[in-house]
Amino acid sequence: MSYKSFKFSDLKEKFGISQKTKKLFYEPIKPIQPSDLLVSLLNLTKGMPLTTEKAVSEAIVLPILREIRNTNQDIIELFSGENLDAERVNGLNGECDFIFAKAPGAIELTAPLIDVCEAKKGDIDNSRSLAQNAAQMIGARVFNQKKNLPYINIYGVCTNGYEWIFLYLEDDTVYIDIDRYYLNDLPQLLGIWQKVIDSFR
């Protein structure tokens, strides 16, 4: 078993973790204008046949996450395709699409805070994609606990590049945000990302 194998019923049975939907962010979000570089990179994708998860990841998701990392490199580092082997005996192992860690400048994964999972077949409402994201968040918590790091409340993000859903693991519940954020409102998307990053300062 690995992260991609989990369903929400498995998370409840193995770890006692329930899932609920609620509004995660109540305060007004301050929009953040994207850099000229990010705008340029995203404009280059227009008309491209982004028909696979890999294509969407390289053309849309990674440039956005790199922008977030570059504007917050004093607090976070971005890791791509890392194995997060937290507790193999319980299936908390496997590759993560992207992880933000509170380890600025680090070359080895430590202190994972935010897990970003790309939606399977681009379906952001697919419960298996959300469950995989939630399992990776649990893995990040266990990883931090084993390293005696204080980060046990973990954020997750599930995206198909065009639509983004935020999740939050607190105590024995994974909360799935009822709000969605969209590529066609990039300042709002970057603003909510900044709010999440700022919560770890």
Q: What is the CATH number of the domain that holds 138?
A: 3.90.1570.30
What per-residue confidence (pLDDT) applies to 1? 82
Q: Indicate the pairing of strand 154-159 with strand 112-118.
A: parallel
Q: Indicate the pairing of strand 181-182 with strand 173-177.
A: unpaired
Domain range for residue 119? Answer: 3-198
Each residue's pLDDT tens digit, 29-84: 999 999 999 999 999 988 888 888 899 999 999 999 999 999 999 999 999 999 99
Each residue's pLDDT tens digit, 130-151: 999 999 999 999 999 999 999 9
Average pLDDT for residues 119-131, to the nearest whole number? 85
Query: pTM, whole model, 2 decimals?
Result: 0.95
Question: CA 50, 4, 179: angle at the middle one, nearest 5?
Answer: 65
What per-residue confidence (pLDDT) applies to 91? 96
State the number of CA atoms in the 13 A half-sphere of 45 facing the CB. 19
Residue type, 153: N
Q: Indicate the pairing of strand 181-182 with strand 163-170.
A: antiparallel
Do residues 176 and 130 touch, judged by C-beta distance below 8 A? Answer: yes
Instruction: Quote the number of domains for the chain.
Output: 1
Do residues 139 and 3 touch, judged by C-beta distance below 8 A? Answer: yes
